[in-house]
Amino acid sequence: MFDTGSTDFFLSDESCETPSCRNHNKYHKTKTFKELTDEPQEIEYISGSLKSNIGSDNVFLGDILVKDQTLHLGYEVYIPIFDSAEWDGIVGLGFTPLNERPVNEENIFSTLIDNLESHDDVKNKFFSFYLPENEGYITFGEIPDDIVPDSSHIEWAPLIPDNENPWSVRL
């Protein structure tokens, strides 16, 4: 699930046995995985909580390779909505200021948005959702021509820098 209110990139770890993990794909560490901290993290969401270890690995968003993406690997997941959800994790699309959990030498972990902003393969520094009645999708760095044939008609509004309400715009 893509979540604009979070910076966490969460997946169930292969060791997770709680009910919220049972019916989902689990993350299996690869050769490129790196542990980032020895201390487990506890994360509280509106819908529940989880205990995780933090590491980084290379992940793909379609054709885009995102190197060293910080991952929360949940080994105890208590998120009731996750029990029956069709998605296998949470991909936070929030900005670094939402992060209150320092991890690495720079005192922050790398959010997906941070990584995409510095990525050469992403033409433009934005993401967009297409949400029709049935199935939709998300794009990174582009707006498909079949959805918006003339993107010059899109009106852009800069975000107001605000840690409490990071998606605020002036109307």
Beta bridge partners of 136: none
Query: What gap in Å lies between CA 154 and CA 36, rounded to an integer?
Result: 40
Instruction: Give the domain extent around 24.
Output: 2-125
User: Has residue 82 been placed in a domain?
Assistant: yes
The confidence score (pLDDT) of residue 25 equals 94
What is the CATH number for 30?
2.40.70.10
DSSP codes, 117-143: HT-TT-SSS-EEEE--SS--EEEES--
User: Has residue 31 been placed in a domain?
Assistant: yes
Q: Provide the domain count of the chain.
A: 1
CB 88 within 8 A of CB 68: no
User: Has residue 153 been placed in a domain?
Assistant: no
Three-state DSSP class for residue 63: coil
The confidence score (pLDDT) of residue 107 equals 43
CB 113 within 8 A of CB 95: yes
In the chain, alpha helices (H): 19-22, 80-83, 112-117
The confidence score (pLDDT) of residue 36 equals 87
Task: Give pLDDT < 50 ranges for the chain.
Answer: 104, 107
Please tell me the pTM assigned to this model.
0.79
Whole-angstrom CA distances from 107 to 56, 80, 96, 100 are 15, 31, 11, 10
User: Has residue 35 been placed in a domain?
Assistant: yes
User: Has residue 164 been placed in a domain?
Assistant: no
User: Has residue 41 been placed in a domain?
Assistant: yes
User: Has residue 151 been placed in a domain?
Assistant: no
